[in-house]
Chain A
Amino acid sequence: MKNEWPLWEIFIRGQHGMSHRHVGSLHAPDAEMAIKNARDVYTRRNEGVSIWVVEANHIAASSPGDKGPLYEPSESKVYRHPTFFDIPEEVGAM
């Protein structure tokens, strides 16, 4: 029998309208306790309005070794950046 609780990745929404952001991870026996633990570990200083928990082994991740084929091809494609337009002043921050 495995005695370690599974690892959970914790995502907190700081305020309404914002996205959930990854804040860290913790151990818990099930999803409900993971939310409770996240509340105690990550929202002590009033950081959140919503909590998502995902068991870490359900997250599929890209491999760091693949960074060549995955990311380098876009380095030489400056035309993909929207930097060739003059943005009118009155639009403000984008």
Chain B
Amino acid sequence: MTRDEALAQFLLRMGDNTLILGHRVSEWCGHAPVLEEDIALANTALDLIGQTQMWLGLAGEVQGMGKSADDLAFLRDVWDFRNLLLVEVPNGDFGRTLMRQCLFDAWHSIQLGHLMTSSDERVAAIAAKASKEVAYHLERSADTVVGLGDGTEESHRRMQEALDYLWPYVGEMFQSDEVDAEMVKAGIAPDPASLRADFDALITRIMGEATLTIPDSAFGHKGGRTGKMHTEHLGHLLTQMQWLQRAYPGAKW
């Protein structure tokens, strides 16, 4: 694998995470429990889609095959996606959506903090722009997790169920392979495993405040970021996200 091939994979992983999570969060538009949360979720989704344009735009540039961010988003099939399994699982209830957001935001903010000092200036510039948005995402999702976890009996139960359901998807964020090794060697991105201690400290503090118990299990689903095996849910998501370009190839407006 050449340096650029590894970099393209890394960029797809970043961009596919924000694309798929952005799409998932956008599914709440018009359905959130209250107007204020509806707009806040839509804002988050739009931030993530904006970041996707930057990551996938750069991925297409590095690939050098003339593909735009839109081509990569709308004309690839399931096996070409490199997002974490965490971001493709269905939204579930509002609590699970916010729990997933909080877990992702915690990882995302730490990752972007490292990427801001990337040896690749293009990567550092995207990270600097995205990190301001993500700092707010984390503040908001963490506050909501604390509010609902340490809330009523029902909200506490739902948040604990959400954490139990999602925890097995957390481990994948910290797995490393030859793509990551190449990125570390080039000084472009940190070793995913090296982010775990900061993540655990942050999440332990948030879940403690939320009076929630982190499951005592190291089992982790994997296969998303390598593209080896996605969940059945990603294909269904893509049929919705990509149908227009599939039905009317090249359609523009």
Contacts and interface: CB of A to CB of B under 8 A. Distances in A.
Specify whether A and B are partners: yes
Interface of A: 5, 26-29, 32-33, 36-37, 39-41, 44
A37 B40 CA distance: 7
A33 B143 contact: yes
A28 B143 CA distance: 13
A31 B111 CA distance: 30
B44 to A, nearest CB: 9
Contacts of A29: 147
Contacts of A36: 40, 139-140, 143
A27 B36 contact: yes
A26 B35 contact: yes
B43 A5 contact: no
Interface string B128-149: 0000000010011001000100
B218 interface: no
A26 B141 CA distance: 19
Contacts of A37: 36, 40
28 contacts: A5-B34, A26-B35, A26-B36, A27-B34, A27-B35, A27-B36, A28-B36, A29-B147, A32-B143, A33-B143, A33-B147, A36-B40, A36-B139, A36-B140, A36-B143, A37-B36, A37-B40, A39-B136, A40-B36, A40-B39, A40-B40, A40-B43, A41-B35, A41-B36, A41-B39, A41-B40, A44-B39, A44-B43
Nearest to B144: A33
Nearest to A39: B136
Contacts of A41: 35-36, 39-40
Of A5, A27, A28, A33, which is in contact with the most chain B CB atoms at under 10 Å from its CB?
Answer: A33
Contacts of A33: 143, 147
A28 B139 CA distance: 16
A47 to B, nearest CB: 14
Interface in B11-50: 34-36, 39-40, 43
A36 B39 CA distance: 11
A26 to B, nearest CB: 5
Nearest to A41: B39
A40 B37 CA distance: 9
Contacts of B35: 26-27, 41
Interface string B43-78: 100000000000000000000000000000000000
Contacts of B143: 32-33, 36
Contacts of B139: 36
B22 to A, nearest CB: 16
A30 to B, nearest CB: 8
B142 to A, nearest CB: 11
